[in-house]
A = this chain, B = another copy of it.
């Protein structure tokens, strides 16, 4: 039995469709496009990601602005963007200029424009089960589960990883969706015994191939957030995809699984920020 392949593209397409019509409505009222400002990201990988965001946003009627800023002017630039009524969302790209910490930078973003959930206030609001902007990759995972009609209420879900950008917000979003959530991490003992209890297993720990068939309950849904580069330039996930397919009921491929939803959710939250700022 081979697991169902849970591809991200149809999930992202459904989000993009809503975003495109929402951006059109916003434009009719506001006379401009919902606009995301990209900040930082001084290497080639960040530049490639920025181009991908720009291309996808512009196809659906959203705008992106991107300026390269030195360390000295960095906090002031973020303050200006936070105050600028023509900017709806702000996304920090790593690497930040040397000497600028991600923690300090995130604190300067207006939480109402923090469309990738990098400000602690947004993570705290998720933990308080209040409306918030979530880290886009984590929220994309929840969207993927809902798209494929995976029941969450009362479901036993194990999240492997506790990073502030994926594992932790994902666990909090799933608790808010009424799942019974266990968080595992590098210090967890006998991890396979715990992950085998999961009806849904979400892996975001950044270790290539950590999850083997022995970690997976037969029929479970497996979400792989890993994006580990291989020596030959490819990407592999945190799950041994081929082997786990024999056990799981459904699994996201890498690439093409949880990845494609990220930019779509970023656009969705940019549109939401734009509408909230206009009081729509």
Contact = CB atoms under 8 A, between A and B. Distances in A.
Interface of A: 103, 119-130, 132, 153-154, 156, 162, 164, 168-169, 171-172, 175, 178, 180-185, 187-189, 194
Given A128-B164, A181-B183, A182-B182, A154 B188 contact: yes
Contacts of A103: 128, 130
A-B complex: 9 closest residue pairs judged by Cβ atoms: A124-B124, A120-B124, A123-B124, A178-B187, A182-B182, A128-B164, A154-B189, A180-B188, A120-B125
Interface of A: prevailing SS? mixed
Nearest to A187: B178
A194 to B, nearest CB: 7
Nearest to A120: B124
Chain multiplicity (copies): 2
A242 to B, nearest CB: 28
Contacts of A162: 129, 175
Contacts of A128: 103, 120, 123, 164, 168
A172 B175 CA distance: 12
A180 B172 contact: no
Contacts of A189: 154, 180
Contacts of A188: 154, 180
A16 B232 CA distance: 59
A184 B178 CA distance: 9
Contact of A181 (B123, B156, B172, B182): B182
Given A124-B121, A127-B127, A175 B181 contact: no
Contacts of A119: 121, 124
25 contacts: A103-B130, A119-B121, A119-B124, A120-B120, A120-B121, A120-B122, A123-B124, A124-B126, A126-B127, A127-B168, A127-B169, A127-B172, A129-B162, A129-B164, A154-B189, A168-B172, A171-B183, A175-B185, A178-B187, A180-B184, A180-B185, A180-B187, A181-B182, A182-B182, A182-B183
